[in-house]
C-alpha cells in the first residue's frame, strides 16, 4: 500500500516535470523565433538608417526656411490662380523670391521650392489625370489651387468657423450647392463636398459677397440664401451724416440714447433671467449704479 502511494506521487511529479519541460521548450522556440524576426528586422532597417539620418538633417535645415516656404505657397494659392503660366513664373521667380531675400531682415526660402510638391503628392496628381485632367503643369496647378480652396471649406465646416467668399459672380461654383441647400446626410451630421463627406457643425456660416450692383441669381439660390443689399444710398448717407452731426452738436441727446439702450438691455436680461434670480438682481443693480 505504501509502495503504491509513493509510486503515484512519483508519477505525478514526473508528469508535472514533463509538462514543465514541454512548456519551457515551447517558450524557448517562441523566443528564438522572436529573436530571429528581430534580427531580420534590424538587418532590413539597417539600410534605412542612412535615409533617416538624411531626413533628420533635412528637417533641421527646413526649420530656417519654414516661414518663407509657407508664405510663398500661401501667396501662390491666394493670388496666382488668375494669371497665365508666364506671369505665374514671373511673379514666383522674379518678384516674390527676390523681394523676400532683399528685405532688411531677409526671409529665407528653400531653393527651387515647388508649391506642387508641398501641397500635393504624385498619387493625387495621377488620380486627377486618370479622371481626365490634362497632364500640363498649368492644369495641375489649377487643380491644386482649387483643392486648397475646398480644404478651407472642409475645415471650416467641421470646426464651425465662418467662411467669406468675396467677389462672387452670378454663376456660383457647383461645389457650394450642398452647403447652400444644407443637404445633410447620416442623420444630419455630414455634408458632402465634392466626393468627400465632411462633418457638419451647426456653428458653420457661409457668407457670399458680390460687388455686382444688380446681380441676377437663380431662384433656387435665392430661396436657399438670405440676400441683403448693403449698397450705400443717398438716404443712407444722409442718415449717417445726421447721426454724426447730432452726436457732435448735441452730445446730451447721444448720452440719453446710450443710457436708454443700456436700460433696455438690463430689462431684457431681467425678463430672460434663469437660475438664481437674486444674483441677476445684484448684477443689474451694480450695472445701474455704474451707469
Q: Is the pLDDT of residue 291 over 70?
A: no
Least confident range of 86-95, 197-206, 260-269, 274-283: 274-283
What CA–CA distance (Å, rounded) separates 174 from 274?
45
Question: Which residues have a Cβ under 8 Å from the Cβ of 47 and sit 6 or more positions away?
Answer: none
What pLDDT, on the 0 to 100 scale, is given for residue 185? Answer: 82
User: Where does the pLDDT of residue 275 fall: very low under 50, low under 70, confident under 90, or very high at 90 and above?
Assistant: low
pLDDT score of 21 more than 80: yes
pLDDT at residue 1, rounded to an integer: 61
Calculate what percentage of the chain has a pLDDT beyond 70. Answer: 91
What the block records as the C-alpha cell of 187 is: 442623420
d(CA 78, CA 71): 10
* pLDDT at res. 274: 60
Find the mean pLDDT for residues 260-283. 65
**Interval 97-108 mean pLDDT:** 87
Instruction: Determine the average pLDDT of the residues in 36-60.
Output: 79
- CA atoms of 3 and 146, how far apart (whole Å): 92
**What's the mean pLDDT in 90-110?**
88
Per residue in 200-256, pLDDT (tens digit) is 888 888 888 888 888 888 888 888 888 888 877 788 788 888 888 888 888 888 788
> For a pLDDT cut of 90, what percent of the chain falls above it?
0
Average pLDDT, the chain: 81
- Spatial separation of the C-alpha atoms in residues 37 and 31, rounded to whole Å: 10
DSSP run (H or E) holding 64: none
- At residue 79, φ and ψ (nearest 5 deg) are -120, -20
CA dihedral 14→20→21→22, nearest 10 degrees, is 110
Q: What is the pLDDT of residues 149-170, one digit of tens each?
A: 788 888 888 888 898 888 888 8
pLDDT above 60 for 285? no
C-alpha cell at 202: 451647426
Q: What is the pLDDT of residue 214?
A: 82
CA distance 228 to 237: 18
Cell of 197: 463627406
| pLDDT number for residue 290 | 52
Mean pLDDT on 43-60: 78
- Count of alpha carbons within 13 Å of 120, Cβ hemisphere only? 20
**What does the pLDDT read at residue 166?**
85
Condensed to tens digits (0 to 9), the pLDDT of residues 128-150 reads: 788 888 888 888 888 888 777 78
The single-letter DSSP state of residue 176 is G
Q: Which residue, among 154, 264, 247, has the nearest Cα to 204 in the 3D structure? A: 154
Q: What is the pLDDT of residues 165-197, one digit of tens each?
A: 888 888 888 888 888 888 888 777 888 887 778
The alpha-carbon radius of gyration of the chain (Å, integer) is 35
Cα torsion 33, 39, 43, 46 to 10°: value is 130
Where are the domains positioned within the chain?
238-290
Give the helix, strand, coil percentages of the chain, each rounded to 5. Answer: 70, 5, 25
pLDDT at 276: 54
| Confidence tier at 126 by pLDDT (50, 70, 90) | confident
Q: At what angle do helices 251-271 and 234-249 cross, to 10 degrees?
A: 100
* 52 or 188, higher pLDDT: 52
- What is the pTM assigned to this prediction? 0.49
Name which of 125, 123, 165 is nearest 141 in CA terms.
125
If you average pLDDT over residues 45-73, what whole number do you get?
A: 82
Amino acid at each position: 500500500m505504501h509502495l503504491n502511494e509513493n509510486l503515484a506521487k512519483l508519477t505525478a511529479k514526473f508528469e508535472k516535470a514533463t509538462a514543465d519541460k514541454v512548456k519551457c521548450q515551447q517558450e524557448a522556440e517562441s523566443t528564438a523565433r522572436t529573436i530571429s524576426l528581430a534580427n531580420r528586422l534590424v538587418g532590413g532597417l539597417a539600410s534605412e538608417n542612412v535615409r533617416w539620418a538624411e531626413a533628420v538633417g533635412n528637417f533641421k535645415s527646413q526649420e530656417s526656411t519654414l516661414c518663407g516656404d509657407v508664405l510663398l505657397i500661401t501667396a501662390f494659392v491666394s493670388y496666382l490662380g488668375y494669371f497665365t503660366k508666364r506671369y505665374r513664373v514671373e511673379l514666383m521667380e522674379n518678384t516674390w523670391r527676390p523681394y523676400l531675400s532683399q528685405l532688411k531682415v531677409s526671409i529665407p526660402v528653400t531653393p527651387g521650392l515647388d508649391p506642387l510638391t508641398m501641397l500635393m503628392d504624385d498619387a493625387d496628381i495621377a488620380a486627377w489625370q486618370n479622371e481626365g485632367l490634362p497632364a500640363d503643369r498649368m492644369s495641375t496647378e489649377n487643380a491644386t489651387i482649387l483643392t486648397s480652396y475646398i480644404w478651407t471649406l472642409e475645415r471650416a465646416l467641421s470646426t464651425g468657423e465662418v467662411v467669406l467668399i468675396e467677389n462672387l459672380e452670378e454663376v456660383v461654383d457647383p461645389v457650394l450647392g450642398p452647403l447652400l441647400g444644407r443637404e445633410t446626410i447620416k442623420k444630419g451630421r455630414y455634408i458632402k463636398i465634392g466626393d468627400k463627406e465632411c462633418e457638419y457643425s451647426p456653428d458653420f456660416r457661409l457668407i457670399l459677397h458680390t460687388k455686382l450692383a444688380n446681380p441676377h441669381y437663380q431662384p433656387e439660390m435665392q430661396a436657399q440664401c438670405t440676400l441683403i443689399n448693403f449698397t450705400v444710398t443717398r438716404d443712407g448717407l444722409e442718415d449717417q451724416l445726421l447721426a454724426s452731426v447730432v452726436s457732435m452738436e448735441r452730445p446730451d441727446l447721444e448720452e440719453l440714447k446710450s443710457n436708454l439702450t443700456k436700460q433696455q438691455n438690463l430689462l431684457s436680461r431681467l425678463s430672460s433671467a434663469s437660475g438664481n434670480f437674486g444674483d441677476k438682481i445684484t448684477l443689474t443693480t451694480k450695472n445701474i449704479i455704474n451707469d
